[in-house]
Structure 1
Amino acid sequence: MKKYHTFTALIGCLFLLAAFLIHHIVLSKELENQTLILQSKIAALSFVAETGNVRLNRSKRVISLIDRYNSSMPLNLKLKTAMEIANASIKYDNLDIHLICATITHESGYKWDPKAVSKKGAMGLMQVMPETAKSLVQFEGIEWTTPAEILFDPVINIRLGSRYLSRLIELYETDGGLAAYNGGGKRAALWLAKNRAKGVLYEETQKFVLAVLSLYEEFRDYN
């Protein structure tokens, strides 16, 4: 009888030990999971902070360029414009703030006027045609209203213009993308197919490409 009780007690101890070990394993696993979650959150916060710093630094550089050409632009509009350009440079790998700013500078006649309109009807900072804008708004979740309401808003204008320019550069490289932005994709494709031969691009487009690339180089050195 005594042996039976001893055996029973031993079994009980083993069960308790097993339960303790299982509980310890479960706690260890939960702790490991919580640690991984915490590490993931820390990494995410670090990324957000780093991205925020990049965005802030780029915005400051854009503001310095805006001040060169339109120092009278209201501060809140200047900040929103600069932030959107910084956002676009983060969103699109083939765009940087200097290329976007170079495009805006030339397209707006060196005035950085959000309500600029060309003789052909291109509108806003990046001189986006209304027909082009209509085809792009859906990708940005923007409801089309009127050309003026959409394209005179510098944030929307930059968002649409940057998307369009990025896509063209993806198709035709940087200089070809600029050529397509000004003179159309077919002419840019032909120009590239002929190894960028003279006389293929329209004269206006040729001047546009050279002017924007010159500004691009200047802005990179300036900042």
Structure 2
Amino acid sequence: MALKKAPTHAQALAGLEKIEVYYFARLKSAQDREAQEEVQKYLARLCRTNPNSAYLAALKTACQFDYALIPKVAAEIGLELALLQAVIETESGYNPNAISRAGAVGLMQLMPATAERFGVTDRYDAAQSLYGGARYLRYLLKLFNNDLKLAIAAYNAGEGNVRKYGNQIPPFRETQDYVVKVMQLYKAYQRY
């Protein structure tokens, strides 16, 4: 009998991702203790099998965040939950420790000036980032007369750039792709 060749690191990660999709999706939408506990048990099993995995480290970081806070903040700030979830997923992948090349930090990827403007003193603090980013998004929606695509573009490129281009989505490939991605996720989250 021939032995099967061990999977490459990339193949192993791809396999883990497929398995993990169910659990991580459940965690992101979980508002009950049972679901949170189920995901934490799954994570503990992964830790025992491969404690030094970079993928696992990223997953553990994301799982430390209390996802039940998202619907609470959405309701308090007056945002549609699906929109807030779509922006979070696009900005940081639900990672409160995410850092962008441009210097944006945290769950909602706030730049220093934006964080200060919306009362965030610690951009790595998931709750502060969530509240600050949600307030900023609500502000952008009001500024652009509830035009969802313009508000999303402004979240990515800055409100000044949206104004500069005549209240249109700026002609930056990154921003155009960002708007498309957020809108796709927004529609997907609306179904749940």
Q: Give the alignment partner of residue 62 of structure 1, picking from 29, 33, 56.
A: 29
Change in CA separation of 1:192 and 1:99 when aligned onto 2, cut-off 3 Å = farther
Residue number in structure 2 paired with 1:118: 100
Q: 1:204 aligns with which of 168, 174, 184?
A: 174
Change (3 A) 1:192 1:211: farther
Equivalent position of 1:181 in the other structure: 155
Letter in 2 for 1:62: S
Among candidates 49, 58, 76, match of residue 91 of structure 1: 76
Q: Which runs of 5+ in 2 are unaligned?
A: 1-26, 40-57
Could you say if the C-alpha distance between residues 169 and 201 of structure 1 is closer, same or farther in structure 2, counting changes exceeding 3 Å?
A: farther
Alpha carbons of structure 1 residues 204 and 154: separation in structure 2 relative to 1, 3 Å: same
CA 1:97–1:180 in structure 2 vs 1: closer, same or farther (change >3 Å)? same
Alignment counterpart, residue 68 of structure 2, candidates 65, 82, 97: 82
**1:1-223 equivalent positions in 2, closer than 5 A:** 62-63=29-30, 72-73=60-61, 77-79=64-66, 81-83=67-69, 85-93=70-78, 95-108=79-92, 110=93, 112-137=94-119, 144=121, 150-172=122-144, 173-191=147-165, 193=167, 196=168, 200-221=170-191, 223=192
Closer, same or farther: CA 74–127 of 1 in aligned 2, 3 Å = closer
TM-score of the superposition, structure 1-length normalised? 0.56
How many angstroms apart in 1 are the aligned matches of 2:95 and 2:113? 21
| CA–CA distance in structure 2, aligned partners of residues 61 and 220 of structure 1 | 14
After superposition, the CA RMSD in angstroms is: 2.9
- Bigger radius of gyration among the two: 1
Distance 1:165 1:201 in 2: 21
Asked if 2 retains the 8 angstrom alpha-carbon contact of 1:176 and 1:189, the reply is no
Alignment check: 8 A CA contact 1:125 1:154 kept = yes
Deviation at 1:74, TM superposition (A): 7.5
Distance in 1 of aligned mates of 2:188 and 2:109: 21
Structure 1 contact 62–101 (Cα < 8 Å) conserved? no
**Equivalent residue for 2:20?**
none
Taking only the aligned residue pairs, the percentage that are identical comes to 29
Q: What's the secondary structure of 1:121's corresponding residue?
A: coil
Deviation at 1:99?
Answer: 0.8
Shift of residue 92, structure 1, vs aligned partner: 2.8
Alpha carbons 1:187, 1:201 under 8 Å: kept: no
What is the CA-CA distance between 1:61 and the residue it aligns to?
6.5
Unaligned runs of 5+ in 1: 1-59, 145-149
Contact 1:62 1:97 in 2 (8 A): no
In 2, the alpha carbon distance for the partners of 1:116 and 1:71 equals 12
Q: Secondary structure at the match of 1:89?
A: helix
Q: For 2:142, what is the secondary structure of its paired residue?
A: helix
- Alignment-mate amino acid for residue 73 of structure 2: A
